[in-house]
Amino acid sequence: MLSVILLAVFAADPAPRPNLLILLTDDQGYGDAAFQGHPVLKTPHLDKLAASGLKLTQCYASAPVCSPSRAGLMSGQHPYRHAIRDWIPPNSGIFLPKTAPSLPRLLKSAGYRTAHVGKWHLNSKMDGTEPTPGHLGFDHWFSTQNNAAPSHENPNNFVRNGKKVGLLKGNSSHLIVDEAIDWLKTGKAEQPFVLFVWFHAPHEPVAVTEKWTTPYAAQEPEDRRQYLGSITCLDDAIGRLLGELDRTKRRDNTLIFFSSDNGPETLKRYKGAHRSYGTPGKLRGMKLHLTEGGIRVPGLLSWPGKIKPGTSAVPVCNVDLLPTACDLAGVKLPEAPLDGTSLLPLIEGKAIKRTVPLYWQYDRALGGFTSAVREGDWKLLADAKRDKLSLYHLGDDPAESRDLARDKPDELARLRKLLDERRTAINGR
């Protein structure tokens, strides 16, 4: 009898490896969702995801601007390690190299199907002369170099697996979810997948039809209604995608991460940014700032049956996704130095132990500070010459309203040392 029991145990199939779905919005501020306390926005599908998963109240982008943040998410490394220092202009010759650690490539090597749909912005052209999503580990891709053009409505600049698609009818948020759903239908249910769904909304040029602005008829001006409607539109697209996972019974074995690439855009900061009505909530600063409003973003983790619903104030960052994915898939970490850490302990309800503190650098940052480091509840901001320093205790003061640099000289010295060490490690000087 014992031999029969042992045979059954050893013959049992191992637990299936989880799927990974990464939902990334563009310029969505910390306060830009109903579950984040926005008084007007309607985001029912994200609200439901937040209620059923783990709401990350201290979730960070790896940079306060798009391309560097995306490079951090893809590689698990600070973007400056790859000379991705700012947004990538078209035909500039800047791109994330093929040699960079790549989350999809690592999981593809372990048998995962991989796809990217939506905004890419990790190269300057999509003609194959620079690395495309396909060069970095995606089996299938349906992507734009930067924003959907000429706007989110009826874009004409998508490229599918190296071939231009041409004019499309509809909103980019739903078009990329259409592609994602079609791709999911082509795979075998037993093969795990990695799916990156990177929305263009609510980045400019914002555009939605009347269907999405009608719920905000009381809001003035019309441009504000367009901004709010663009977020409700992408929320609806997310709801359709999650519905497909439910329909095909893959939701329970899918780890979902939702976030934004950086803080909200400042209204009318540049020509054409007349519909940027984003908000950082009660945080200080916005996109391009290293204060909290520029880098702290909405964050959700969901994995039914594995992640207990609730709220976590543990600091996490998008550079943590690569080591997390490797941990979950049983894939060896790359030899390159990583700046993130696995979130598996957090998923299991345990403490995260970082070997290196979270560090940000953006040499063109607004607001006077170009680098920052965080350890525990303490955050230090520094200017380019590291002469001007500001120290905040985020546990007591998330709005960064009380500079404690003079009051806490020991903490100031400790954080200054950490900042200098991280700067040297990443920049080589």
- Report the alpha-carbon distance of residue 23 to residue 101 in Å, rounded: 20
Q: What is the pLDDT of residue 208?
A: 98
Q: What is the pLDDT of residue 190?
A: 86
> Could you tell me which residues come within 8 angstroms of residue 149 by beta carbon, excluding any fewer than 6 positions away?
155, 156, 157, 205
Checking if the pLDDT of 216 tops 70, the result is yes
Can you point out the beta strands (E) in 206-304? 254-260, 296-297, 299-302
* DSSP code at position 48: H
**Average pLDDT estimate for 101-117:** 98
Checking if the pLDDT of 106 tops 50, the result is yes
**Average pLDDT estimate for 327-352:** 96
- Six token digits for residue 337: 């130095």
Checking if the pLDDT of 91 tops 50, the result is yes
Checking if the pLDDT of 13 tops 70, the result is no
Q: What is the pLDDT of residue 272?
A: 84
Q: What is the pLDDT of residue 14?
A: 59
pLDDT > 90 fraction of the chain, expressed in percent and rounded: 93
Cβ count near 210 (within 10 Å): 9
- Report the alpha-carbon distance of residue 223 to residue 220 in Å, rounded: 8
Tokens 């990790």 correspond to: 122
Q: Which of 93, 65, 55, 71 is nearest to 302 (CA)?
A: 55
Q: What is the pLDDT of residue 2?
A: 38
Order the strands of the 378-382 sheet from edge to edge.
358-361, 371-375, 378-382, 389-393
Quick: pLDDT tens for 263-307. Answer: 999 888 888 899 999 999 999 999 999 999 999 999 999 999 999
Per-residue confidence band for 429, with pLDDT thresholds at 50, 70 and 90: confident
Q: What is the pLDDT of residue 420?
A: 97
- Report the alpha-carbon distance of residue 42 to residue 46 in Å, rounded: 9
What is the residue type of 189? A
Per-residue confidence band for 368, with pLDDT thresholds at 50, 70 and 90: very high
Q: What is the pLDDT of residue 280?
A: 98
Checking if the pLDDT of 406 tops 60, the result is yes
Lowest mean pLDDT among 31-35, 259-263, 266-270, 339-343: 266-270
**Average pLDDT estimate for 77-102:** 98
How does the average pLDDT of the chain come out, rounded? 95
Q: What is the pLDDT of residue 387?
A: 94
145 and 90 in contact (C-beta within 8 Å)?
yes
Lowest mean pLDDT among 51-60, 130-139, 185-194, 404-413: 185-194
Query: Residues 289, 292, 298, 299: what is their CA dihedral angle, to the nearest 10 degrees?
Result: 120
Quick: pLDDT tens for 175-213. Answer: 999 999 999 999 888 899 999 999 999 999 999 999 999
Checking if the pLDDT of 15 tops 80, the result is no
Checking if the pLDDT of 12 tops 50, the result is no
Checking if the pLDDT of 5 tops 60, the result is no
